């Protein structure tokens, strides 16, 4: 009896220590936010959401193409040759900007318009959109996240919006019992039902990945958590998810984090595939089935983008594959490969798109990132020509800004926007990393899916300056002297805690 009570007491002690640790991390972050003069994330988001009104005053204006961004959402008009882009984020090494802009692109006219309204979703990234033909065309948007300029604070959304294309109006849909706040989820529509799967929630102190499945009826405007039998995908974000006209849904790939050892997390790139179909034994529920696809499968990658053509064929592009150097250090292999998937036979095929003769001998499919060295290094892989030199404490790369060489088609990248309109594949933006540097892209390409002969450059490749440090350390993880003095009064067991947290960008 005494032993049982002793174990119970230990349990309470462990719980108390965990609560104390969480409180310490929150206090440290709060002090740093105050020191930097950054407003509370709730107040920042509230300023955007307070703009909601009962009627729409949307204004269209011809504009320049969208600036560089990643983790935005892109869809095609269900009936016309037109694309829509919303949101996204940009990071230059010092500051994060999250966008709330809404653009349309007229393919025939090669014309961009910005659609402004006081009634619209707040700025966000990592959200999802789908389009349907109902009522002259509708665009549905769910979830996403907002990051403060320092990336010390994150706010995740769980709101559902619809943009009625014919009326040019946004409307917020208030429906109970939907998915929890998240970003990095995936969303598809089939048979007048929107399905939302997975995603993650991260507050910079802790994170959680999801593998739940929700359905939203486009007829009743109601949410339901889907009852699924069988063993399905593990929790993840950034996976590929497509729906067939017959209602079958495929999910594969994705990304999540797992603990390697105390205070060290390692990203996990998933390579499995699952199908979601009606359970024949119970037509009100669904069933997961593990799929073993055939053909020339793409290597396991995170940040790979996927789109479905009118004939049901799936096209995927890009992504990054981590290669391990040691337990705490990885480097990325970026791709610009295009693969197709036959969802009926689950067969993969790699597309060999024609390249200019000058580039045929260059390996433009995989690009490996390497850490910057102290000595001057000239890096030329046929995609980027980059000069890196000097101390790792460089705060600006104005002098060492990468110079791009001509390349037929999109360069290697992750999290690019990909969409099919009619018989043309479009790719816009995304992210490329070089060591600790992150270059957000703004280029735009199209590919005729009937010919598959050559990429058409709509907006040429261009990189903005990287203003951050070449070191993996950042000012957001520095602690003040006051913090150190306060921490010295805490238990020794907490003295080695690392309160930094890397945000999932899937």
pLDDT per residue as tens, the chain (506 positions):
444 444 444 445 544 444 444 555 556 666 666 666 677 888 878 887 755 544 568 899 999 999 999 999 999 999 999 999 999 999 999 999 999 999 999 999 999 999 999 899 999 999 999 999 999 999 999 999 999 998 888 999 999 999 999 999 999 999 999 999 999 999 999 999 999 999 999 887 788 999 999 999 999 999 999 989 999 999 999 999 999 878 899 999 999 987 777 667 888 899 999 999 987 766 668 999 999 999 999 999 999 999 999 999 999 999 998 776 555 556 778 999 999 999 999 999 999 886 543 344 334 443 444 433 333 333 333 333 333 222 233 333 444 555 544 567 999 999 999 999 999 999 999 999 988 889 999 999 999 999 998 999 999 987 778 888 765 444 444 444 444 444 444 444 443 333 333 345 45
Identify whether 121 is part of a domain: no
Identify whether 10 is part of a domain: yes
Match 């690009």 to its residue by tokens.
367
343-346: list long-range contacts, CB under 8 Å, 24+ apart: 343/242, 343/244, 343/248, 343/250, 343/312, 343/313, 343/314, 344/244, 344/312, 345/294, 346/250, 346/273, 346/291, 346/292, 346/293, 346/294
350 strand-pairing partners:
339
Torsion of CA 176, 181, 186, 189, to 10 degrees: 20
CB 128 within 8 A of CB 119: no
Backbone torsions φ then ψ of 32, nearest 5 degrees: -65, -40
Task: From residue 367, give the alpha-carbon distance in Å to each of 99, 296, 433.
Answer: 28, 20, 10
Identify whether 20 is part of a domain: yes
Identify whether 305 is part of a domain: no
Closest CA to 336 of 258, 418, 395: 418
- Residue 86 structure tokens: 């919303």
Identify whether 337 is part of a domain: no
* Distance of alpha carbon 85 from alpha carbon 415, whole angstroms: 14
Identify whether 499 is part of a domain: yes
Identify whether 505 is part of a domain: yes
Identify whether 301 is part of a domain: no
Run of H or E including 9: helix 2-36
By residue range, what is the domain housing residue 483? 1-37+474-506
* Distance of alpha carbon 495 from alpha carbon 481, whole angstroms: 14
* Distance of alpha carbon 480 from alpha carbon 35, whole angstroms: 9
The reply to whether the predicted model has a pTM over 0.75 is yes
* Distance of alpha carbon 358 from alpha carbon 363, whole angstroms: 12
Tell me how many domains the chain contains.
Answer: 1
For 9, residues 6+ apart whose C-beta sits below 8 A from its C-beta are none
């Amino acid at each position: 009896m005494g032993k049982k009570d002793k174990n119970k007491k230990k349990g309470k002690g462990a719980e108390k220590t965990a609560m104390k640790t969480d409180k310490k991390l929150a206090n440290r972050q709060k002090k740093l936010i105050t020191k930097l003069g950054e407003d509370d994330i709730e107040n920042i988001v509230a300023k955007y959401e307070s703009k909601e009104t009962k009627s729409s005053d949307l204004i269209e204006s011809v504009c320049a193409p969208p600036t560089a961004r990643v983790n935005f959402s892109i869809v095609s008009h269900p009936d016309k040759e037109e694309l829509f882009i919303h949101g996204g984020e940009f990071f230059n090494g010092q500051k994060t900007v999250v966008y709330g802009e809404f653009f349309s692109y007229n393919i025939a006219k090669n014309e961009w318009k910005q659609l402004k309204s006081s009634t619209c979703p707040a700025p966000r990234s990592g959200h999802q959109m789908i389009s349907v033909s109902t009522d002259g065309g509708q665009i549905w948007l769910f979830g996403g996240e907002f990051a403060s300029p320092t990336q010390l604070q994150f706010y995740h959304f769980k709101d559902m919006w619809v943009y009625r294309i014919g009326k040019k109006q946004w409307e917020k849909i208030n429906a109970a019992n939907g998915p929890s706040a998240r970003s990095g989820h995936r969303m598809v529509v089939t048979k007048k039902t929107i399905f939302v799967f997975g995603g993650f929630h991260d507050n910079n102190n802790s994170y959680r990945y999801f593998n739940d499945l929700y359905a939203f009826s486009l007829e009743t405007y109601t949410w339901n958590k889907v009852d699924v039998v069988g063993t399905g995908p593990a929790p993840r974000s950034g996976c590929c998810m497509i729906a067939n006209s017959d209602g079958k849904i495929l999910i594969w790939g994705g990304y999540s984090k797992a603990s390697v050892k105390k205070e060290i997390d390692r990203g996990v790139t998933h390579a499995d595939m699952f199908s979601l179909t009606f359970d024949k034994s119970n037509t009100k529920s669904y069933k997961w089935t593990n799929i073993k696809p055939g053909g020339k499968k793409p290597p396991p990658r995170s940040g790979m983008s996927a789109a479905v053509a009118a004939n049901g064929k799936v096209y995927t592009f890009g992504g990054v594959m981590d290669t391990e150097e040691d337990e705490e250090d990885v480097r990325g292999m970026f791709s610009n490969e295009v693969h197709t998937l036959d969802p009926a036979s689950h067969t993969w095929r790699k597309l060999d798109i024609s390249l200019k003769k000058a580039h045929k001998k260059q390996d433009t499919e995989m690009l490996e990132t390497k850490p910057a060295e102290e000595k001057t290094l000239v890096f030329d892989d046929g995609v980027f020509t980059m000069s890196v030199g000097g101390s790792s404490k460089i705060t600006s790369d104005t002098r060492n800004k990468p110079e791009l060489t001509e390349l037929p088609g999109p360069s290697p990248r992750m999290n690019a926007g990909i969409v099919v309109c009619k018989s043309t594949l479009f790719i816009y933006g995304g992210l490329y990393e070089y060591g600790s540097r992150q270059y957000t892209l703004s280029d735009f390409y199209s590919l005729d899916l009937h010919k598959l002969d050559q990429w058409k450059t709509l907006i040429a490749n261009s990189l903005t300056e990287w203003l951050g440090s070449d070191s993996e350390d950042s000012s957001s993880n520095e602690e003040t002297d006051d913090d150190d003095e306060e921490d010295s009064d805490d238990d020794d067991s907490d003295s080695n805690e690392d309160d930094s947290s890397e945000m999932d960008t899937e």
